[in-house]
């Protein structure tokens, strides 16, 4: 009797926030994990250490998600270490908020380089490499529905992510690979909490019928579902927001 081959995942932005929760959650399911970081290797090392201390397998891999050569190298490293690739979760992203009328276009370009080009580059590599039975999971935002002011540039980048996802799901016809997007609502991460006063945070928490913010672990459960048992969900946007919208 042969052992079942280990499933392998690469998590971009896996060094903190939602990305770290996703990496640790997939490791709980026995998936070997490549923990990607852009600039903070120490945080990626902490995530790897937490996974290995719990009995899992993980390695750190660096690179700019918008650079196709650096991402090809990151994918190569994960495949060389674990023998293949089954799940790619693209949590890497940045958020710059401003009214459309006054937004700094350099901020817009920087955000779109990471969120749109980065998602495209990672999706391109994933489409070439993920094995049959695998899953590609990108990240959008519930603000594509709630349409909060000052999120115009950010929502534009995430609407593009959703479009890339839906097209790629159809382009991979016959390969037994699912492609979906998770769209979190307000989630208690440093990215979300930065710059918000307590009243704003509380108002957003109470906006959901569940009357709380989401947690990184909440979002990670959605990813684990799409990465594992949810084989009949494909080409969809999954709103993980507690009923906010």
Which two three-digit tokens encode residue 103?
């937004």
CA distance 239 to 140: 9
Which of helix, strand or coil describes residue 5? coil
Q: In which region does residue 149 sit, left (phi positive, over 0), alpha (psi from -120 to 50) or beta (all else)?
A: beta
Closest of 227, 211, 231, 207 to residue 219, by C-alpha: 227
Closest of 92, 182, 100 to residue 135, by C-alpha: 182
Secondary element (H or E) of residue 33? strand 32-37
37, 151, 154, 239: which one is catalytic? 154
CA distances from 129 to 18, 145, 188 (A): 24, 32, 33
Q: What's the angle, vertex CA 122, arms to CA 117 and CA 125, rounded to 5?
A: 125
* Other C-beta atoms lying within 10 Å of the C-beta of residue 138: 28
- Told to judge if 239 belongs to the known catalytic residues of this protein, a careful annotator would answer no
Q: Which residues are annotated as catalytic?
A: 154
């Amino acid at each position: 009797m042969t052992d079942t081959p280990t499933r392998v995942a690469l998590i971009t932005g896996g060094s903190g926030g939602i990305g770290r929760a996703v990496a640790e959650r997939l490791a709980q399911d026995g998936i070997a994990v490549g923990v990607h970081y852009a600039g903070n290797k120490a945080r990626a090392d902490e995530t790897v250490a937490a996974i290995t201390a719990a009995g899992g397998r993980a390695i750190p891999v660096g690179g700019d998600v918008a650079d196709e050569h650096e991402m090809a190298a990151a994918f190569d490293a994960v495949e060389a270490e674990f023998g293949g690739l089954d799940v790619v979760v693209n949590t890497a992203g940045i958020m710059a908020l401003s009214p459309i009328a006054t937004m700094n276009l350099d901020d817009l370009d920087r955000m779109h380089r990471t969120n749109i080009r980065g998602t495209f580059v990672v999706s391109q590599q994933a489409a070439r490499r993920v094995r049959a039975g695998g899953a590609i999971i990108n990240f959008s935002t519930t603000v594509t529905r709630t349409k909060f002011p000052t999120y115009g540039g950010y929502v534009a980048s995430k609407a593009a992510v959703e479009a890339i996802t839906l097209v790629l799901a159809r382009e991979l016809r016959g390969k037994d690979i699912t492609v979906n997007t998770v769209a979190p609502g307000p989630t208690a991460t440093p990215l979300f909490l930065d710059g918000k006063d307590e009243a704003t945070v509380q108002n957003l928490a109470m906006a959901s019928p569940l009357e709380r913010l989401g947690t990184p672990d909440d979002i990670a459960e959605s990813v684990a579902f799409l990465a594992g048992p949810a084989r009949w969900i494909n080409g969809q946007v999954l709103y993980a927001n507690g009923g906010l919208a």
